[in-house]
Amino acid sequence: MSSTDSTLDLPFQQLREVRASLLRLHKALLHSERDVYEQFHGPIQSKGEFFQLVIGDEWFSWLRPFSQFIVQIDEALSAKEPITLHRANELLDEARSLVSLSEEGTTREQRYYQAIQRDPNIALMHADVSKLLAK
């Protein structure tokens, strides 16, 4: 293994770990938002209805960047051309930005902050992702 290969190993491994953690976080955020949505709008009748809401309703729009980013990671890791160290680090930087919090920032940052405040499991998952990104 060349030094270039070992240099790429860490960002690759970190990216894979971040992807797995973001996927768990995304799933928890979806369930949490569903609960809040149903408090305001009544029960969602099926998985199909929920899927349509997630992809099309404004209520869930703040979660779409999480979905899109996970797809970006998947595409980068499965591309025929090997991912470069620069691209891996760009994706890790983007992940750091995605999980940034703010009570007064963008709608996504505010809604993410609110989800962390209302659900301790989401707070723990956020801490896990943040820890991975601090490496």
- Range of 50's domain? 3-133
Q: What distance in Å separates the CA atoms of residue 99 and residue 108, rounded to the nearest whole number?
A: 9
**Count of domains forming the chain:** 1
Burial 91-104 (b: 16+ CB within 10 A, else e): bbeebeebbeeeee
Nearest to 37 by CA among 20, 52, 50: 50
Q: What is the pLDDT along the chain (135 residues), one digit of tens a residue?
A: 444 445 447 778 889 999 999 999 999 999 999 999 999 999 999 999 999 999 999 999 999 999 999 999 999 988 888 888 899 899 999 999 999 888 888 889 999 999 999 999 999 999 999 999 986
Question: How is residue 82 annotated by DSSP?
Answer: P
Provide the pLDDT for residue 135: 67
Kindly state the tokens that stand for 63.
């979660």
- Measure the CA angle with vertex 132, ends 92 and 94; round to 5°: 20
